Amino acid sequence: MSNSTSVQFNIQVGDDLTHNVKPLLNEIKHGLDNLIETGRTTIIDLRSLPLAPGEEEKILNTLGQGEVQAQLNALGLSEVTETQYAGVWIVTHYNDEQHIISRFIEVTTMPEILCSQTEDVMEAYSRLTLDLADNP
């Protein structure tokens, strides 16, 4: 487009357009309270809420970034980030084309997807045993 600076979008990114930003942040606070009191994990699916353009970014910006950032390569990329509020994680799954397929806020000490899974550990044991047998 020759004059891209003059393009006007017909979407206004207002403050609290759907009024869902603050309640969601409060839900996260309740999740933290639950985690402290009972150790219970809370997972929020960001796709299940109506959010106006810009509101998801607003939530993510409010939560900020903490000490841990991890990338998984499992059926496409996944990013797991601890926010500035310890115990509040953003888990984003991408497909092969780098499009977001789901995004969760997990209130937990460690998102399940980061842990080594028993089945994979068992499979790893068998594989290493075979490798060692092949290359004594």
* Interatomic CA distance for residues 123 and 102, integer angstroms: 28
Q: Determine, following the binding rule CB under 8 A, whether residue 33 of this chain makes contact with other proteins.
A: no
Q: Which of 21, 63, 88, 104 binds other proteins (CB under 8 A)?
A: 104
For 66, counting Cβ atoms within 10 Å of its Cβ (0-12 exposed, 13-18 middle, 19+ buried), the class is middle
Q: Determine, following the binding rule CB under 8 A, whether residue 93 of this chain makes contact with other proteins.
A: yes
Q: Determine, following the binding rule CB under 8 A, whether residue 96 of this chain makes contact with other proteins.
A: yes
Q: Which of 25, 49, 60, 70 binds other proteins (CB under 8 A)?
A: 49
Count of residues engaged in binding other proteins, rule: CB under 8 A: 42
* Interatomic CA distance for residues 18 and 96, integer angstroms: 31
Q: Which of 47, 61, 64, 84 binds other proteins (CB under 8 A)?
A: 47
> 72-101 burial, b for 16+ CB within 10 Å, e for fewer?
beeeeebebbbbebebbbbbbbbeeeeeee
Q: Which of 21, 24, 28, 78 binds other proteins (CB under 8 A)?
A: 78
- Cβ neighbours for 5, distance < 8 A, ≥ 6 positions apart: none
Residue ranges in contact with other proteins by CB under 8 A: 8, 10-12, 14, 17-19, 43-45, 47-53, 55, 72, 74-76, 78, 91, 93, 95-97, 99-102, 104, 112-113, 116-120, 123
